Amino acid sequence: MRFSLITKLAFVISLILLTCMASYAYINIQTLKQLMLEEAIADADKLSETIISTTHYQMLENDLQRVFMMISEAGTQKGVERIRMISKDGKIVFSTKKDEIGTLIDKKAAACNMCHTGSEPLLHTSSMNRSRIFTTANGTEVLGMAKGIYNEPNCSAAECHFHPASVRILGVLDVIVSLDAMNAQLNEYRNKTIVHTVLLLGLLAITLTFFLMNLVTVPVRQLLARTRMIAEGDLESSVAVQSGDELGELAQSFNSMTDNLRQARGELEEWGRHLESKVEERTRELKQMQAQLIRSEKLASQGELVAGIAHEINNPLTGILVYSSLLASDPKLDPDLMPDMETIVRETERCASIVKGLLDFSRETPPQKTPILLEQVMEEALNLVVHQSLFHDITVVKQYTPGLPEMMADHNQIEQVFINLLLNAGQAMTGDGTLTITTGLVPGGASVYAAIRDTGCGISEEHLGKIFDPFFTTKDQKGTGLGLSVSFGIIANHGGRIGVESTVGQGTTFTIILPLMGENEEHEGVGGD
């Protein structure tokens, strides 16, 4: 079983209050009882005093009948249980209760033992000491008050009289009053006190609970709810600071703790994101560099082979071309054979162009670097291709970055690369689409880039790894598969890079990055940030 803080607090406070109030009420009642008792004793004392003084004359006269009458009258007063007169030797001379007249009282009985501790009575005991409280046979609580009737000079001197002067006490007047009225009053007071105490306690408990709820429970609950939210990972909301006390302070430091946590988490997340993108970027760069290296090696070994073959084929091919051209122009040639002859010449010319491409590819002529402007070279390449019928329905969008610095490169070779890429783009779009050319400075400032984007057929994943290989083509009879491999060689010789991104059915973007100073960019770390 779990009790809330407030329940415990309210319980403890109520318990303390209950104890305090009950003790206070008990002391109160006891004091009141004492006071009322004293008053009752004084009343009884006064009554017996009055009886003795009013019967004084009749006593002297020895008119006992009148004395008894007067006592009987006094006995009818409200609250008086009985009044009796007891003689010196313990005989009840008169009583308002007729049946005990003439009986003897034991000196050790309750009515006498206040004065008669020994054989002789204590004459000077106070009215307080001469009183006694006891319960009668019918169950009422009563107060008894015994008063001595003294032998006065008038008494012993009276001629009629028989009291010798040596006797001090002639008898005792015993007044017994009921304490019922007093007890009833006390009971009523006690009941009232209990009711008031209970009401007061209830009121106190309600007020206490209300204030404790507002001052403690509500802010503590809020804090508790927030702690749970934090445990579940929510660091956004905060606790309202309502008071300037310790709880308010706690809420404030709780809020600042949440703020710090949030900040720390944000930093961690940011750091994680940054790290992830950095790793991704580096991995991509590494992959590109690796692919480039493999390609370079492949090209170098293929280059030698290709150069040898091309050189060997070039001479006989020239012979075939010369002789077939001569034959085709010979008037003695049968006109029926003319179309075949023309096919031979055309195909031989195609062979010659392939061989020329091969020689270009393998020649490895070192670039003749001069200061050039990338944008200018691109414009020249564009001028050479856009007039071809292939480009008639193609929209060319130029996004040149103005004011690019001059760069060191071989004008002709770079132009050839651009022509290759532009032609490939045109062919991919089959005469209809948008060609976007972008230039700019690579962040870091040591390299420039040119991107050629087309909206053509795109390159499949499978082909993407092969397009830079010599003789790889998807264009059947029309392609040599040398354009990209030659371009790759040229850019590599300039210390640059060539990259491709493509989505089948949407288009392709070729990006060329060239170092401004014409040096190998790997050493300068161009392309990174």
Ligand X SMILES: Nc1ncnc2c1ncn2[C@@H]1O[C@H](COP(=O)(O)OP(=O)(O)O)[C@@H](O)[C@H]1O
What is the contact surface with ligand X in residues (CB under 6 A)? 420, 424-425, 428, 454, 456-457, 459, 467, 472-475, 479-485, 508
- To the nearest whole angstrom, how small is the minimum distance from the Cβ of residue 483 to Mg ion? 3
Tell me which of ligand X, Mg ion, none is bound by residue 473, counting a contact when its beta carbon lies within the kind-specific cut-off of 5 to 8 angstroms: ligand X
Tell me which of ligand X, Mg ion, none is bound by residue 251, counting a contact when its beta carbon lies within the kind-specific cut-off of 5 to 8 angstroms: none
- To the nearest whole angstrom, how small is the minimum distance from the Cβ of residue 288 to Mg ion? 21
Task: Please report the DSSP string for 263-315 in residue order.
Answer: HHHHHHHHHHHHHHHHHHHHHHHHHHHHHHHHHHHHHHHHHHHHHHHHHHHHH
Tell me which of ligand X, Mg ion, none is bound by residue 178, counting a contact when its beta carbon lies within the kind-specific cut-off of 5 to 8 angstroms: none
Q: How far apart, in whole angstroms, are the C-alpha atoms of residue 209 and residue 216?
A: 10
- To the nearest whole angstrom, how small is the minimum distance from the Cβ of residue 453 to ligand X? 9
Look at the block and give the residue holding tokens 């030698």.
304
Look at the block and give the residue holding tokens 């390159």.
459
- To the nearest whole angstrom, how small is the minimum distance from the Cβ of residue 435 to Mg ion? 15
Tell me which of ligand X, Mg ion, none is bound by residue 235, counting a contact when its beta carbon lies within the kind-specific cut-off of 5 to 8 angstroms: none
Nearer to ligand X, 143 or 385 (CB): 385
Query: How many residues form the binding site for Mg ion (CB under 5 A)?
Result: 2
Crossing angle between the packed helical segments 180-212 and 5-54, to the nearest 10 degrees = 160
- Of 95, 324, 424, 455, the residue at the interface with Mg ion (CB under 5 A) is 424
- To the nearest whole angstrom, how small is the minimum distance from the Cβ of residue 470 to ligand X? 8
Q: How far apart are the first and last CA of the chain?
A: 64
| Residue 143 CB contacts under 8 Å (≥ 6 apart), including other chains | 37, 40, 41, 44, 131, 132, 133, 176, 177, 178, 179
CB 400 within 8 Å of CB 443: no
Nearer to Mg ion, 362 or 424 (CB): 424
Nearer to ligand X, 177 or 498 (CB): 498
Nearer to ligand X, 392 or 475 (CB): 475
- To the nearest whole angstrom, how small is the minimum distance from the Cβ of residue 481 to Mg ion? 8
- To the nearest whole angstrom, how small is the minimum distance from the Cβ of residue 484 to ligand X? 3
Nearer to ligand X, 70 or 423 (CB): 423
Tell me which of ligand X, Mg ion, none is bound by residue 324, counting a contact when its beta carbon lies within the kind-specific cut-off of 5 to 8 angstroms: none
Q: Encode 14-37: b = buried (16+ Cβ within 10 Å), e = exposed.
A: beebeeebeeebeeebeebbeebb
- To the nearest whole angstrom, how small is the minimum distance from the Cβ of residue 420 to Mg ion? 6
Candidate ranges 72-80, 271-279, 310-318, 418-426; the one touching Mg ion (CB under 5 A) = 418-426
E strands present in 455-527? 497-503, 507-515
Tell me which of Mg ion, ligand X, none is bound by residue 400, counting a contact when its beta carbon lies within the kind-specific cut-off of 5 to 8 angstroms: none
Look at the block and give the residue holding tokens 């006694």.
132
**507 near Mg ion (CB under 5 A):** no
Strand partners, 396: 435
- To the nearest whole angstrom, how small is the minimum distance from the Cβ of residue 415 to ligand X? 16
Which is nearest to 422 in space by CA: 458, 396, 446, 443?
396
Subset of residues 469 to 488 that bind Mg ion, contact rule: CB under 5 A = 483
Nearer to Mg ion, 146 or 417 (CB): 417
Nearer to Mg ion, 483 or 495 (CB): 483
* Alpha helix segments (H runs only) across 133-245: 153-157, 180-212, 218-231
Q: How many CB atoms lie within 10 A of CB 338?
A: 11
Nearer to ligand X, 79 or 433 (CB): 433
Nearer to ligand X, 193 or 424 (CB): 424
CB 132 within 8 Å of CB 111: yes
What token pair was written down for 290?
Answer: 């690796």
Tell me which of Mg ion, ligand X, none is bound by residue 174, counting a contact when its beta carbon lies within the kind-specific cut-off of 5 to 8 angstroms: none
Binding mask 377-416 toward Mg ion (x if CB under 5 A, else -) reads ----------------------------------------
Tell me which of ligand X, Mg ion, none is bound by residue 454, counting a contact when its beta carbon lies within the kind-specific cut-off of 5 to 8 angstroms: ligand X
Q: How far apart, in whole angstroms, are the C-alpha atoms of residue 425 and residue 431?
A: 10
Q: How many CB atoms lie within 10 A of CB 302?
A: 16
Nearer to Mg ion, 336 or 476 (CB): 476
The DSSP symbol for 98 reads G
What token pair was written down for 447?
Answer: 């390299």
- To the nearest whole angstrom, how small is the minimum distance from the Cβ of residue 455 to Mg ion? 18
Site of interaction with Mg ion (CB under 5 A): 424, 483
